[in-house]
Amino acid sequence: MLHQRLSQKLLQKLSPQQIQLMKLLQVPTDQLEQRIKEELESNPALEEGDNEEEELTSTEEMFREEEGGSEEGGDEKDDATNDELDLDDYINDDETADYKTRDDNYGDDDDDNKTVPYAINDTFHENLNKQLGMCDMDERREKIAQQILGSIDDDGYLRREISAIVDDLAFSQNVVTDEDEIIELLDMIQGFDPPGVGARDLRECLLLQLERKLHTKSVKTAINIVENYFEEFTKKHYEKLAKHLKVEEGELKPAVTEIIKLNPKPGGSAKEDGGAAFQYIIPDFTIINNNGELELKLNSRNAPELHVSRDFKEMVVDYKKSALKDKKQKEAILFIKQKIDAAKWFIDAIKQRQHTLWSTMYEIMVHQYDFFLTGDETQMNPMILKDIAEKTNLDISTVSRVANSKYVQTEFGTYSLKFFFSESLSTDSGEEVSTREVKKILCGLIEAENKKIPLSDQELMEDLRKRGYNIARRTVAKYREQLDIPVARLRKEL
Which pLDDT value is given to residue 85?
53
| CA-wise closest residue to 294 among 399, 206, 412, 391 | 412
Fold observed for domain 424-491: Arc Repressor Mutant, subunit A (1.10.10)
Q: Tell me if 310 sits within 8 A of 376, measured CB to CB.
A: no
pLDDT band at 460 (very low <50, low <70, confident <90, very high): very high
Preceding amide of 382 cis, omega within 30? no
H helices of 229-326, in order, are: 230-234, 238-245, 249-260, 266-272, 310-321
Q: Tell me if 221 sits within 8 A of 244, measured CB to CB.
A: no
Give yes or no for residue 92 having a pLDDT over 60: no
Dist. CA 29–CA 432, nearest whole Å: 34
| CA-wise closest residue to 357 among 26, 20, 58 | 26
Total Cβ atoms within 10 A of residue 410:
19
Residue ranges per structural domain of the chain: 15-101+279-421, 124-272, 424-491
pLDDT band at 104 (very low <50, low <70, confident <90, very high): very low
Angle at 171 between CA 169 and CA 177, to 5 degrees: 35
Give yes or no for residue 144 having a pLDDT over 60: yes
Dist. CA 107–CA 288, nearest whole Å: 16
Which pLDDT value is given to residue 95?
43
How does pLDDT run across 38-56, given as a tens digit for each residue? Answer: 888 888 888 876 654 443 3
Where is average pLDDT lowest: 54-63, 178-187, 189-198, 224-233? 54-63
Q: What φ, ψ does residue 410 adopt, rounded to 5°?
A: -125, 175
**β-strand 306-308 against 424-426: which pairing, if any?**
unpaired
Q: Starting at the edge strand that comes first in sequence, how are the strands of the sheet with 46-48 ordered?
A: 46-48, 306-308, 98-99
Which pLDDT value is given to residue 89?
60
Where is average pLDDT lowest: 22-26, 187-191, 241-245, 404-408? 22-26
Structural element, H or E, at residue 209: helix 202-211
Structural element, H or E, at residue 18: helix 16-26
Dist. CA 286–CA 361, nearest whole Å: 10
Report in angstroms the alpha-carbon separations of 352 from 348, 355, 359, 420. 6, 5, 10, 23
- List CB contacts of 413: < 8 A, sequence separation 6 or more: 375
Give yes or no for residue 112 having a pLDDT over 90: no
Dist. CA 73–CA 425, nearest whole Å: 76
Structural element, H or E, at residue 408: strand 407-410
Which pLDDT value is given to residue 110?
47
Which pLDDT value is given to residue 29?
77
Question: DSSP state, 278?
Answer: -
pLDDT band at 229 (very low <50, low <70, confident <90, very high): very high
> For residue 308, what are the β-bridge partners?
46
Q: Tell me if 175 sits within 8 A of 144, measured CB to CB.
A: yes
Total Cβ atoms within 10 A of residue 450:
9
Report in angstroms the alpha-carbon separations of 458 from 236, 362, 441, 453, 470. 20, 40, 15, 14, 13
pLDDT band at 33 (very low <50, low <70, confident <90, very high): confident
Instruction: Give the DSSP per-residue string, 74-85.
Output: S-HHHHHHHT-B
> For residue 285, what are the β-bridge partners?
298, 408
Q: Tell me if 128 sits within 8 A of 149, measured CB to CB.
A: yes
Q: pTM for this one?
A: 0.57
Helix axes 238-245 and 249-260, enclosed angle (nearest 10): 110
Q: Which residue has the higher pLDDT, 418 or 68?
A: 418
Give yes or no for residue 268 having a pLDDT over 80: no
Angle at 422 between CA 420 and CA 424, to 5 degrees: 135
